[in-house]
Amino acid sequence: MYNFSALTQSIHQYLSEAMSPLGAKITEMAIIGLVLIAFVALSVMGLVYIERKVAAFFQLRVGPNRVGKWGLLQTLADFLKLLMKEHIMARNADKFLFNLAPFLIVTAAFLAIGAVPFGLGLQAFDINIGVFYISAVSSIGVLGILIGGWAGNNKYSLIGALRSGAQVISYEISAILSLLTIVVLAGDLQLSAIIESQRDGWWVFKGHIPVLISFVIFLIAGTAETNRGPFDMAEAESELTAGFHTEYSGIKFAMFFLAEYVNLFIIAAVGATVFLGGWMPLHIGHWQAFNHIMDYIPSIVWFFLKTGGIIGIIMWFKWTFPRLRIDQLLVLEWKYLLPINLVNLLVVAFITLMGWHF
Amino acid sequence: MTEETLTKEGLKTQEYFVNMGPQHPSTHGVLRLMLELDGEIIKKVIPHIGYVHRSIEKMCEKDSYRQIVHITDRMDYLSNHMNNEAVCLLVENALEIEVSDRVKVIRTIMSELTRLSSHQLWWGVMGMDLGALTTFLYGFRDREMINDIFEETCGARLTMNYNTPGGLMFDIHPNFQRRVKEFVAHFKTKLPEYDALLSDNVIFRNRTEGIGVLSKEDAISFGVTGPTGRASGFSNDIRKHKPYSAYDRVEFKEILMETGDTFSRYKARILEMWESLSIIEQLIDNIPEGEIQSPAVKAVIKLPKGEFYQSVETARGELGVYVVSDGTKNPYRVKFRSPGFSNLFVLNHLAQGYKIADLVAMMSTIDLVIPDIDR
Amino acid sequence: MDRENLQKIIATWGNEAEFSPAPVPANEETGTKAISGTQFLEVTIKPEHLLTYANKLRNEPELQFDFMFNHTCVDFPEHFMVVNHLRSTRHGHEVVLKVKLEDKETPQLETLSHIWRTAEYLEREVFDLFGIQYQNHPDLRRILLTDDWEGYPLRKNYEDPVNMISL
């Protein structure tokens, strides 16, 4: 299996020889930043295209097929259009906050994506509290939504923002608690360690039913946290026209759009990493031959396959289910998911203590 | 603004207004609802209508009876055929002309196809209002087949003008019977799919059951007709109570529900689609021979002096045409009792105490068509 | 209940009401001519009797006209005729309650919105288009036209040189 740290090490070595340690560090950070920005831009365009095609598939349509081959350049064209649009602001909008919100929400998304392990040795920084870090920074995003909804001076966006605030704060609890079950099983918060603990099988297979439950809850909570249907309370186009970004136009709207898809990617990536072994190939216990064959598939392919699978499921949700009402949404979280999750966590802790997992 | 109230903790809360519309995704046209909200809970709904008011009634006073038929298409454009039929029936009844059986049966089949297409669109939009975006195109897929049938026979897909006083514009297309049968067979397999997508969905059930309950007394008092009223148990099906065209020779049930909540209004329409299919099935093989235009109707129609009222059951309820004639070729006064007008104003009564999301669901099940309300 | 009995019951309330004749087909044996008659039984009353009649029509147990399916107005050269189409959902019979408004300058009428709730909005429409002032109406505003519209378009003498095309 190819280890990307060989590549990164060689770059590091080359830079260290060429300049001072501080200069090398700064250059490396710049490279990583640029690579991530490029990756985000490309992956969001890809995701938007995929989403449109998936939606078209569900809805008996063809989807984009005019701009470029199979409509591949459609998202680029849309992005260019958004880039050139006029910035419109309501008269009594809070100018500073109105402009701040899109940046906040994008920053949160970028902070989180830095800690995602894309492949073996391909992780920008492997912090030892990785799970905690990702949950923490991704919750900054809701601030962007709240500020954006407030600053636009529009009642629809205010309602959308308040809904979103209540929703994200509630569902973050569930998302984190379901991640905690794996943290308990793996005994570590570091993402690389969690992946390493799945060398002999993914947690979703090893952890019996409790882990399956927490995986399902994670999918629900993750969908809710990214404000996607059937939990798109914050937008709820048939109720609130466009929810918290009603007043945004042009590139600022594009940023919200971008952040939505980055968040989708992060949620799917975290789910894939924690529950499905991240870049770890499909290994089954002591079947050495099988495991070796699986190792021939590059780690980055595994990661994107799993992430793509989860993204697919989340898109499937969106294009199938009606939207919940805000009170039903909160009831689902506080009365069902949270108690189930707490009990589940206890059960997993017990399983771990007794060593019953594989 | 409204008065401020103090909560238990001594915090000030204030009710506020939100203008829903005239441009809003779920008002399905240029309807403006002024919502008085307490947080997200609705205190009052004040509908403002008239954005597409074209004064059709005044226009009719200048038009001959043949011309009026064409204007009615533009009111409830989803029940276009029934609207035409109402005026034609009124003229025929006033002149005491009996149209041939062939005309009656074809009119009935066309009406039921129109009803189906209207309900299909409603179903798609209802799903979309509740956030299930896919249903819209499922509804349109099936509606497309009906529109193709219309196009073949009438030459138009939406404003068909197929009825004329005394008969029909043209005879049916040779393919008509085959394609209608194909459609019925197709749609019978697709209607259960509608149920699977929305009716049996747990989120959908939670969003609709027990929401916006309209009692039978209120339905009658507010004049809520059509499936909306029948969901509350208000028996108002004109097809049953005052049969016109060929409705007296087919068997169908008047769908009556009891609860009157959003879900029963939804269910009433779904069941009504099954009834429409059954009506079409009973008639499609037995279209009698006969003339399609009665020779008794002259080119210039003059109604006898007097007042005439004719109601038909459109997809939304009772459409009434009230004509005061002074014996000339133009009517003295025409009034359209549009079902949407009465149905709309029950919203304030229904929505109080519910949330915005529920209002959207109720609005969907009342099935508003704005040009029908504004006329 | 058939038309004759309806007329009998309503006639017992007083002699203010005028009734329309029922249609009679021509009889060749006796040589009587056909009477065109009216489609529904039409009860024409003066505005001051409206509330009594409306209340009785709504509440008499054998009548129970609980569904107002149409309410409109006709502008005749000499008077306004306010027309209420009523139906009983229990008994299935129908009646037309007509009110003759002789005053063409300031037509006034009692509201029926507390008896039939749908009347509130139908009356607003008639107010909007004909200018009939309904007394005690809870919310008498223009409904279809803009608030600053001048005149009442459905009156026969209404002229709008900008928006109307006269043929």
What pLDDT, in 10s, does the model give residues B163-181? Answer: 888 888 888 888 888 889 8
pLDDT digits (tens, 9 = 90+) for B277-311: 999 988 888 888 888 888 878 888 888 888 888 88
- In chain B the beta strands, taken as DSSP E runs, fall at 4-6, 12-14, 16-20, 32-38, 41-48, 163-164, 167-168, 306-313, 318-325, 331-337
Class of domain B12-374: mainly alpha
Task: Output the pLDDT for position B7.
Answer: 65
Please, are residues A311 and A47 in contact by the beta-carbon 8 Å criterion?
Answer: yes
Q: Per the domain annotation, does C158 fall within a domain?
A: no
> Is B130's CB within 8 Å of A322's CB?
yes
> How many Å lie between the alpha carbon of B116 and the closest alpha carbon of chain A?
20
Identify from C24, C38, C64, C69 which residue to disrupt to test chain B contact, counting B C-beta atoms within 10 A and taking the largest count.
C69
Task: Output the pLDDT for position C107.
Answer: 85
What is the arithmetic mean of pLDDT over B230-246? 87
Task: Output the pLDDT for position A1.
Answer: 67
Closest CA to A273 of A161, A197, A212, A172: A197
pLDDT digits (tens, 9 = 90+) for C8-51: 887 787 777 777 777 777 777 776 666 677 778 888 888 888 88
Question: Minimal Cα distance from B23: which residue of A?
Answer: A241
Residues B112, B120: Cα–Cα separation, whole Å: 12
Please list every residue in chain C whose beta carbon sits closer than 8 Å to the beta carbon of residue B234: 89
Q: Which of B50, B307, B333 sits opposite C39 (nearest CB)?
A: B307
> How many Å lie between the alpha carbon of B118 and the closest alpha carbon of chain C?
23
Is the CB of residue B136 less than 8 Å away from at least one CB of chain A?
Answer: yes
Task: Output the pLDDT for position A189.
Answer: 85
> Is B341's CB within 8 Å of C40's CB?
no
Residues B146, B141: Cα–Cα separation, whole Å: 10
Is the CB of residue A319 less than 8 Å away from at least one CB of chain B?
Answer: yes
Please list every residue in chain A whose beta carbon sits closer than 8 Å to the beta carbon of residue B200: none
Q: Per the domain annotation, does C167 fall within a domain?
A: no
Identify from C20, C68, C72, C96 which residue to disrupt to test chain B contact, counting B C-beta atoms within 10 A and taking the largest count.
C72
Report the b/e string of C100-113 with b at 16+ CB within 10 A: ebeeeeebebbbbb
Residues B357, B20: Cα–Cα separation, whole Å: 12
**Residue A120 CA: distances (Å) to CA of A39, A191, A196, A303:** 17, 12, 10, 10
Please list every residue in chain B whose beta carbon sits closer than 8 Å to the beta carbon of residue C68: 223
Query: Per-residue confidence at B4, pLDDT binned at 50, 70, 90?
Result: low
Q: Which of C38, C143, C154 sits opposite B306 (nearest CB)?
A: C38
Q: Per the domain annotation, does C50 fall within a domain?
A: yes
Task: Output the pLDDT for position B1.
Answer: 44
Identify from B30, B46, B55 which residue to disrupt to test chain C contact, counting C C-beta atoms within 10 A and taking the largest count.
B55
Is the CB of residue B133 less than 8 Å away from at least one CB of chain A?
Answer: yes
Q: Per the domain annotation, does C164 fall within a domain?
A: no
Per-residue pLDDT of chain C in tens (167 residues, 90 and over written 9)? 777 777 788 778 777 777 777 777 777 777 666 667 777 888 888 888 888 888 888 888 888 888 888 888 888 888 888 888 888 888 888 888 888 888 888 888 888 888 888 888 888 888 888 888 888 888 888 888 888 888 888 888 887 777 776 65
Please list every residue in chain A whose beta carbon sits closer than 8 Å to the beta carbon of residue B40: 159, 163, 326
Q: Is the peptide bond before C61 cis (omega within 30 degrees of 0)?
A: no
Please, are residues C123 and C107 in contact by the beta-carbon 8 Å criterion?
Answer: no
Is the CB of residue C161 less than 8 Å away from at least one CB of chain B?
Answer: no
Partners of chain B (3+ Cβ pairs below 8 A): A, C
Q: Per the domain annotation, does C98 fall within a domain?
A: yes
Q: Domain residues of chain A, as ranges? A: 90-354
> Is C69's CB within 8 Å of B308's CB?
no
Q: Per the domain annotation, does C162 fall within a domain?
A: no
Element spanning B189, H or E: helix B176-194
Chains B, C: CB pairs < 8 Å: 87
Count up the domains in chain C and report the number: 1
Q: Per the domain annotation, does C9 fall within a domain?
A: yes
B234 sits in the region (left: phi over 0; alpha: psi -120 to 50; else beta) called beta
Closest CA to B370 of B87, B12, B100, B125: B125
Please list every residue in chain C whose beta carbon sits closer than 8 Å to the beta carbon of residue B305: 36
> Is A159's CB within 8 Å of B201's CB?
no
Per-residue pLDDT of chain A in tens (358 residues, 90 and over written 9)? 677 777 778 887 888 888 888 888 888 888 888 888 888 888 888 888 888 888 888 888 888 888 878 888 888 888 888 888 888 877 887 888 888 888 888 888 888 888 888 877 777 777 888 888 888 888 888 888 888 888 878 888 888 888 888 888 888 888 888 888 888 888 888 888 888 887 777 777 777 788 888 889 998 888 888 888 788 877 777 777 777 888 888 888 888 888 888 888 888 988 888 888 877 777 777 777 777 777 777 878 888 888 888 988 888 888 888 888 888 888 888 898 889 989 988 888 888 888 776 6
- In the chain, the amino acid numbered C148 is D
Q: Which domain holds residue C56?
A: 3-24+35-135
- Which residue is associated with the tokens 């906050």? A97
CATH of the domain at C100: 3.30.460.80
Task: Output the pLDDT for position B8.
Answer: 67
Least confident of A195-199, B191-195, B253-257: A195-199
> Is B131's CB within 8 Å of A229's CB?
yes
Is the CB of residue B223 less than 8 Å away from at least one CB of chain C?
Answer: yes
